Chain A
Amino acid sequence: DGGITQSPKYLFRKEGQNVTLSCEQNLNHDAMYWYRQDPGQGLRLIYYSQIVNDFQKGDIAEGYSVSREKKESFPLTVTSAQKNPTAFYLCASSIAGTVHEKLFFGSGTQLSVL
Chain B
Amino acid sequence: GQQVMQIPQYQHVQEGEDFTTYCNSSTTLSNIQWYKQRPGGHPVFLIQLVKSGEVKKQKRLTFQFGEAKKNSSLHITATQTTDVGTYFCAGVQGGSEKLVFGKGTKLTVNP
Complex interface: chain B residues within 8 A of A100 (CB): 30-31, 48, 50, 92
B8 within 8 A of A: no
Interface size on A, residues (CB 8 A): 17
Main SS class of interface, B: strand
B42 at the interface (CB under 8 A from A): yes
Asked if B43 is at the interface (CB within 8 A of a chain A CB), the reply is yes
Q: Roughly how many angstroms separate A43 CA and B35 CA in the complex, as a whole number?
A: 11
B88 touches A99 (CB 8 A): no
Task: Give the distance in Å from the alpha carbon of A107 to the alpha carbon of B38 in the complex.
Answer: 11
B39 contacts A by Cβ under 8 Å = no
Interface of B toward A, CB cutoff 8 Å = 1, 4, 6, 9, 30-31, 33, 35, 41-45, 48, 50, 88, 90, 92, 96-104
